[in-house]
Amino acid sequence: MIRALPDFPWDTLADHAATARAHPGGVVDLSVGTPVDPVSEPIQDALSAVADQPGYPTTHGTPELREAVVEALARRYGVPGLDPAAVLPTIGSKELVAWLPTLLGLGEGDLVAIPALAYPTYEVGARLAGATTVLLADGEAPPPGTKLVWLNSPSNPTGRVLDAEALAKAVAEARAVGAVVASDECYLSLPWEAEPVSVLREEVNGGSLEGLLAVHSLSKSSSLAGYRAGFVTGDPARVRALLELRKHAGMIVPRPVQSAMTAALRDDEHVRVQRERYRARRAVLRPALEAAGFRVDHSEAGLYLWSTRDEDAGKTVSWLAERGVLAAPGTFYGPSGDRHVRIALTATDERVAEAARRLG
């Protein structure tokens, strides 16, 4: 049976994109969080160094990659003592998000709880499995029958950060109904006004990883969107079960990408440099939006400015497109986003400065 899925959100922006492209100075595309900065040379070198290897890569990832993940999570996010066997590379994070409900065996009658404003692929993954999606308002507990709860801090699209206490409450409530917790932590490396916390931290999970999966991506921290480089870790039993299924399905990260991931995870300097690039762009774009009459809500971390002019999101997208700036309407992320737009920091310094000029 082929599942009915919603239209791909960005395909619906075609008319607005055409308007923005017609601007005399060209389009400033702030609608998609696609990295524009070059991949650091050591990562490129690591990719090419194993380009001559003809054999199948291991689904579990090389020991070096899994050790690099464990060490990076301890260094960067204060998550000590993970078992390298409980690390599993994924073909980017989106692939895992889309297929996780299916891999967990969810189906008709099962509930997947997602934030009321959320990355659209959480819902798509539930639909692919035949499960039902439940939207949770801030602080709301999942209902009985929920099998999977998605957490996302820093949030895409809002940039909101949940502190350790809020995350601990969410984990406890999910465990109370027997749900697996999947924490999308792809923006953890981009704090601005609040310090994000992983669910792998003891103050969140009470010292137990049971039922917890943390999803990570190198797309934002290392500009590796084109490499499709991600990983999942957490509950050893859950990761082991995912590994066995992925072996059968051929869900394998290519060997050169595994090598590049290892290099990226061992080096924190390029992550710092990339973070400062985004910080500088944010410092240009946010005041320009506010001066143009926008209010920026949340946006404490991550790659986006969750912005509103207190009007219908479609009207705001049109207003921006007339100025050659393309943004994503908040309705892409849930009905309650109908008066916001998501504006990405992923454009070159020159394009961000041009967007700020046009807003002025």
Domains of the chain: 9-38+270-359 (3.90.1150.10), 53-266 (3.40.640.10)
Look at residue 165 in the predicted model and tell me its pLDDT.
97
In what order do the strands lie in the sheet containing 341-344? 295-297, 304-308, 341-344, 328-329
Tokens of 354: 């041009």
Q: Among residues 56, 42, 26, which one has the least CA distance to residue 354?
A: 26
Q: Among residues 304, 244, 254, which one has the least CA distance to residue 278?
A: 304
Average pLDDT over residues 245-260: 96
233 burial (CB, 10 Å; 0-12 / 13-18 / 19+) is buried
Look at residue 168 in the predicted model and tell me its pLDDT.
98
The mean-pLDDT minimum among 19-33, 152-166, 174-188, 250-264 falls in 19-33
Q: What percent of the chain has pLDDT over 90?
A: 93
In what order do the strands lie in the sheet containing 180-184? 87-91, 229-234, 212-217, 180-184, 146-152, 111-115, 132-136
- Over residues 288-311, the pLDDT tens digits come to 999 999 999 999 999 999 999 999
Look at residue 13 in the predicted model and tell me its pLDDT.
86
- Positive or negative CA dihedral for 138, 141, 144, 146? positive
Average pLDDT over residues 153-170: 97
Q: Whose structure tokens read 């009985």?
A: 144
pLDDT band at 17 (very low <50, low <70, confident <90, very high): confident
pLDDT band at 2 (very low <50, low <70, confident <90, very high): low
pLDDT band at 3 (very low <50, low <70, confident <90, very high): low
Look at residue 344 in the predicted model and tell me its pLDDT.
97
Please report how many Cα atoms fall inside a 13 Å half-sphere around the Cα of residue 20, on the Cβ side: 23
Average pLDDT over residues 172-197: 97
Query: Rounded CA gap, 121 and 119, in Å?
Result: 6
Average pLDDT over residues 128-134: 96
Structural element, H or E, at residue 248: helix 236-249
Look at residue 12 in the predicted model and tell me its pLDDT.
82
Look at residue 1 in the predicted model and tell me its pLDDT.
55
Q: What percent of the chain has pLDDT over 70?
A: 99
Helices 63-77 & 255-266, crossing angle to 10 degrees?
A: 30
Look at residue 10 in the predicted model and tell me its pLDDT.
67
pLDDT for 279 beyond 80 = yes
Query: Chain-wide mean pLDDT for the chain?
Result: 95
pLDDT band at 6 (very low <50, low <70, confident <90, very high): confident
Residues sharing a CB contact under 8 Å with residue 138, sequence separation 6 or more, in sequence order: 116
